[in-house]
Homo-oligomer: A and B are copies of this chain.
Amino acid sequence: VRAVVLTDAGLTFDAAYPEPKPKRGEVIVRVLRAGICGTDLEMLRGYKGFRGVPGHEFVGVVEGCDDCPSLVGKRVVGEINVGCGECARCQSVGPGHCSTREVMGLIARDGAFAEKVSLPIGNLFVVDDAVAEERTVFAEPLAAALHILWQVSVAKRDRVVVLGPGRLGRLVAMVLRRHTPDLTLVGRSDAVPDDPDLVIDCTGTPEGFARAVECAGPLGTVVLKSTCAGDATVPASLLTKIVVNENDVIGSRCGSRENFEDAATMLVSGDIDPSPLVEATYRLEDFARAFAHAARPGALKVLFDPTL
């Protein structure tokens, strides 16, 4: 299959990458659209040391499935974590914290920047064919944004600040604005409102973390929503600030299965429509231009269309 592949030599295009080989209980999905996320950009800088096909945001069509003929031809989005299914964490909180998990496009499993990808049946959620792929491709990042509401409560009087008006920050803002009108999306040179109750760091930079802690103030909650790669450091004085202000700093990663289901439902119903965040769509062959575009400061969502 045609695929974008991360190798020791960097990102390449392979016109004849091996067909995905579905394991027991898995199906082949033909990818219609796949989105580039900040974590994909960081992987290029060495984060996680992943080798293979990146891409963990997608919408596709089930191509073939012996165990589930009714799924064939269905439009699907998919949860990206594949756990052992048997450990205490898989049983209690799902595959996202399984110590032997695979994650499509991120850990030990090929992802969606290819014509086809394999995933367990149980990871898939059917979405309506009639909804534009530019909308349903947001299922994974939307689930991740919805996950914040599983970790912290946001009520209508809460003052929320989202740092980083990029693709992730804007999506998080769309989700949280449904819970409070008092939300400010803040860029690098914007002023921050005083004394917010909750600050979500979507900058993916150590400076963003510092700014989040600075502006959270006494008893404020900070959600860290994006990872930072590289050898950067943050001043230990920020830790002292967290102690003195008694902040609550919460790491937030993927959506759970339930968040995914909610995300798929909201995208299909149109309750949330992030498709205006799509800035450009590229062929797999044009991976270098696509990644360069996604890496531009302020760039919003860049997609691959593997059918082109």
Contacts and interface: CB of A to CB of B under 8 A. Distances in A.
Interface stretch (A70-78, A120-128, A231-239): A231-239
A37 to B, nearest CB: 13
Given A224-B239, A231-B236, A234-B239, 16 more contacts: A97-B245, A97-B246, A206-B236, A206-B239, A209-B236, A224-B243, A225-B243, A227-B239, A228-B239, A231-B235, A231-B237, A232-B235, A243-B251, A246-B250, A247-B250, A248-B249
A150 to B, nearest CB: 10
A242 interface: yes
A228 B244 CA distance: 11
How many of these chains are in the complex? 2
A235 to B, nearest CB: 6
A214 to B, nearest CB: 14
A169 to B, nearest CB: 15
B236 A242 contact: no
Contacts of A239: 206, 209, 224, 227-228, 234
Given A233-B233, A233-B236, A236-B233, A253 B243 contact: yes
A187 interface: no
Contact of A242 (B97, B218, B244, B249): B249
A184 interface: no
A97 B240 contact: no
A96 B225 CA distance: 29
A226 B243 CA distance: 7
A230 interface: yes
Contacts of A250: 246-249
Contacts of A241: 251
A252 interface: yes
A1 interface: no
A97 B218 contact: yes
Contact of A244 (B245, B246, B248, B253): B253
A68 interface: no
Interface string A188-215: 0000000000000000001001000000
A199 to B, nearest CB: 14
Contact of A93 (B219, B227, B242, B248): B219
A224 B222 CA distance: 15
A222 B242 CA distance: 12
A89 interface: yes
Interface string A57-100: 00000000000000000000000000000000100010011010
Given A89-B218, A219-B93, A243-B226, A233 B231 contact: no
A59 B248 CA distance: 32
Contact of A245 (B206, B228, B247, B251): B251
Contacts of A219: 89, 93, 97
